[in-house]
């Protein structure tokens, strides 16, 4: 069965171009002209990835992704002509996984879609293993107050579950795999997405900020995820 991609975009020309490229790459395609119609399609169809414009009538992309995240975990790739950092940051904070500026290269978009779906499917497998794997100590990483369970796709701090997006979980898995080791922003992005790209460093900074807000006792004075100026980040046992 083909993977299904939902296009939420009000520009008919862009929809047609992306539909041609997606279908030629083996994807089924759904299209909605605004966020409200997009949400309705998500509720009635299984979707592997969403390509989302920000500025649309009736419901914009920001409101769409915020509402979508209440019931759907499929990856979201924003395609937008709004290129200010605040737009990128807000998109990621609301739950998008990636941001591609318009005008874009259609083949690059396809590559992003394939990578996002691979990551999404990998996370699904990580949460549905058999009992033998579930009991395997290698599936659990404990560092100080934190416990990361790769089988259940769950991070706990002092026994309390910390909700993370797929991107955030993979970043934490990478950091916790080697406490005290410094990982560059490019390495963390590659761990989460499977590849690097020129804007990955800004993306990682936003996600690190989001993770700190969730796991740190004082996000303004982070002690778990420590910034190593000019190099990257390391995870410290608490």
CA 59 – CA 64 distance, rounded (Å): 7
CA separation, residue 108 to residues 14, 103, 112, 117, 179 (Å): 14, 11, 6, 14, 34
pLDDT tens digits for 175-230? 998 888 999 888 888 888 776 665 567 788 889 999 999 999 999 999 999 999 88
Residue appearing with tokens 């579930």: 134
State the average pLDDT over residues 9-16.
Answer: 95
For the chain, domain boundaries: 4-126, 131-235
Asked if CATH classification 1.10.10.10 holds for the domain at 131-235, the reply, yes or no, is yes
Q: What is the CATH number of domain 4-126?
A: 3.40.50.2300
Other beta carbons within 10 Å of 108: 11
DSSP, collapsed to helix, strand or coil, labels residue 28 as strand
Mean pLDDT for all residues in the chain: 85
CA 229 – CA 226 distance, rounded (Å): 9
Retrieve residue 113's tokens: 């879609």
pLDDT above 70 coverage of the chain, percent: 89
Give CA angle at 95 (104, 179), nearest 5°.
Answer: 105
Element (H, E) at 62: helix 61-68
Q: The dihedral of CA 170, 75, 73, 151: what is its sign?
A: negative
pLDDT at 134: 41
pLDDT tens digits for 109-162? 998 899 888 877 766 544 444 444 444 445 788 888 999 988 778 889 988 888
Please tell me which residue, 56 or 94, carries the higher pLDDT value. 56
């Amino acid at each position: 069965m083909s993977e299904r991609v939902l296009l939420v975009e009000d520009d008919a020309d862009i929809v047609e171009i992306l539909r041609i490229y997606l279908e030629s790459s083996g994807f089924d395609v759904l299209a909605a002209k605004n966020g409200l119609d997009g949400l309705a399609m998500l509720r009635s169809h299984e979707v592997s990835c969403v390509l989302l414009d920000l500025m649309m009538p009736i419901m914009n992309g920001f409101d769409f992704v915020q509402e979508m995240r209440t019931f759907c975990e499929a990856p979201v790739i924003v395609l937008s002509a709004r290129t200010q950092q605040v737009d990128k940051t807000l998109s990621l904070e609301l739950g998008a996984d990636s941001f591609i500026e318009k005008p874009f290269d259609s083949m690059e978009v396809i590559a992003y879609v394939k990578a996002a779906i691979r990551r999404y499917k990998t996370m699904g497998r990580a949460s549905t293993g058999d009992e033998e794997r579930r009991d395997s100590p290698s599936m659990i990483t404990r560092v100080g107050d934190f416990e990361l369970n790769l089988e259940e796709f769950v991070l706990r701090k002092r026994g309390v579950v910390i909700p993370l997006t797929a991107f955030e979980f993979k970043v934490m898995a990478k950091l916790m795999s080697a406490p005290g080791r410094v990982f560059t922003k490019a390495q963390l992005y590659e761990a989460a997405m499977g590849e690097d790209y020129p804007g990955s460093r800004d993306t990682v900074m936003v996600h690190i900020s989001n993770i700190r807000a969730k796991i740190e006792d004082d996000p303004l004075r982070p002690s778990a995820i420590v910034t190593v100026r000019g190099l990257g980040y390391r995870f410290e046992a608490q």
